[in-house]
């Protein structure tokens, strides 16, 4: 990747159209700041964006007040370098406001990924199969704003009884039956056991990723470190850490637990794009679940 060729694409559903494919698009040369938090916890991912001096027509369309929590306003964000510009956030706008800062007109957007389904989804039915994986698939179908096939680990436990009745908030039911081992990232549901991870496009953290060694923190089962912006990493993936800690045979397998992207792109600001990753050490028998690299 050419680190100097920074780019992004922010797209938002057009509230003036009933066609969900119609979008408001913001791209360079408009300046942008963003902070994105993605993690493997059963809570919503967070996206915060500051747009500078966009057209007034787009600012008006983007606007949304916080008192409409049930209004769906899809937002997707890709960022990277040159042709490498993967999707790193997609969710729902919670609030979008505009104000003036000296000579600039700034639009601030707060968005959450997964929160809409976590709050608004509902399940009412009977799981006729006897396996936990079938029950999870049934619940996943009621998360209307998630996309793609869910990534589900080895949940082959047999339910106490066939024809399990399910009624209530879908996310609460998923939390109950999976023991909280569920999360939504990049629009897809993932349900992984403690000894499972997915495969990513970046297998290891290496020197050429711009490791900020002065930020390195580690504890018994955790490593936290800043890198130069790396949009290809995904939460839940296994990653090699040989450049960060000495190898410990049998204990060196790690999974990305959290990713925090912080960046500014403008023609005047020279701030670095940074990615903070939090890694969790896993058991030596860590199993890789197919369907990663989403």
The average confidence (pLDDT) of the chain is 89
pLDDT tier, 252 (very low <50, low <70, confident <90, very high otherwise)? low
Per-residue pLDDT tens over the stretch 4-13: 688 999 999 8
Taking residues 70-98, report their average pLDDT.
94
Say which range, 132-141, 221-230, 237-246, has the weakest mean pLDDT.
237-246
What is the three-class DSSP state of 96?
strand
Helix (H) or strand (E) holding 92: strand 87-101
In this model, does residue 249 exceed pLDDT 70? no
- How far is CA 10 from its chain centroid? 15
pLDDT tier, 3 (very low <50, low <70, confident <90, very high otherwise)? low
Taking residues 263-277, report their average pLDDT.
80
Taking residues 32-56, report their average pLDDT.
96
In this model, does residue 33 exceed pLDDT 70? yes
pLDDT tier, 246 (very low <50, low <70, confident <90, very high otherwise)? low
Instruction: Report pLDDT for 48.
Output: 98
Say which range, 44-48, 69-73, 195-199, has the weakest mean pLDDT.
69-73
More confident residue, 80 or 159: 80
Instruction: Report pLDDT for 247.
Output: 60
CA 132/CA 164 separation, integer angstroms: 10
Sort 112 into a burial class: Cβ within 10 Å, 0-12 / 13-18 / 19+.
buried
In this model, does residue 82 exceed pLDDT 70? yes
More confident residue, 271 or 128: 128
Instruction: Report pLDDT for 131.
Output: 85
Say which range, 73-77, 217-221, 242-246, has the weakest mean pLDDT.
242-246
Rounded to two decimals, what is the model's pTM? Answer: 0.92
Taking residues 41-68, report their average pLDDT.
93
Instruction: Report pLDDT for 5.
Output: 85
Q: How far apart are the first and last CA of the chain?
A: 20
Max Cα–Cα distance, the chain, nearest Å: 66
pLDDT tier, 271 (very low <50, low <70, confident <90, very high otherwise)? low
CA 97/CA 21 separation, integer angstroms: 23
Phi and psi of 231, rounded to 5°? Answer: -75, -10
3-state percent helix, strand, coil for the chain, nearest multiple of 5: 10, 45, 45
Per-residue pLDDT tens over the stretch 197-214: 999 999 999 888 999 989
Contacts 24+ apart (CB under 8 A), 52-61: 52/104, 52/105, 52/106, 52/266, 53/104, 53/105, 54/26, 54/30, 54/105, 54/107, 58/24, 58/26, 59/98, 59/105, 59/107, 61/12, 61/14, 61/15, 61/16, 61/24
Highest mean pLDDT among 45-54, 199-208, 214-223: 45-54
State the number of CA atoms in the 13 A half-sphere of 42 facing the CB: 17
């Amino acid at each position: 990747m050419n680190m100097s060729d920074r780019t992004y694409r922010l797209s938002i559903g057009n509230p003036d159209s009933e066609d969900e494919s119609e979008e408001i698009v913001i791209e360079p040369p408009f300046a942008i700041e963003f902070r994105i938090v993605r993690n493997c916890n059963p809570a919503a991912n967070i996206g915060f964006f500051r747009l500078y001096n966009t057209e007034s027509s787009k600012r008006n369309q983007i606007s949304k007040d916080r008192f409409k929590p049930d209004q769906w306003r899809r937002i997707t964000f890709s960022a990277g370098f040159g042709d490498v510009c993967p999707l790193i956030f997609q969710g729902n706008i919670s609030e979008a406001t505009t104000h003036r800062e000296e000579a600039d007109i700034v639009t601030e957007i707060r968005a959450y990924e997964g929160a809409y389904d976590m709050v608004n989804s509902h399940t009412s039915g009977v799981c006729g199969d006897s396996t936990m994986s079938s029950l999870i698939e049934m619940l996943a179908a009621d998360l209307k704003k998630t996309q793609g096939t869910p990534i589900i680990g080895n949940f082959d436990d047999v339910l106490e009884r066939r024809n399990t009745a399910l009624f209530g908030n879908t996310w609460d039911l998923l939390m109950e039956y999976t023991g909280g081992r569920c999360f939504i990232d990049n629009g897809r549901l993932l349900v992984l056991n403690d000894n499972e991870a997915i495969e990513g496009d970046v297998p290891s953290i290496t020197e050429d990723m711009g490791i900020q060694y002065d930020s390195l923190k580690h504890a018994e089962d955790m490593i936290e470190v800043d890198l130069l912006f790396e949009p290809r990493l995904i939460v839940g993936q296994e990653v090699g850490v040989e450049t960060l800690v000495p190898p410990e045979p049998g204990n060196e397998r790690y999974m990305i637990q959290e990713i925090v992207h912080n960046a500014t792109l403008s023609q005047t600001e020279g701030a670095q794009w940074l990615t903070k990753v939090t890694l969790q050490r896993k058991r030596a028998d860590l199993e890789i679940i197919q369907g990663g690299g989403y």
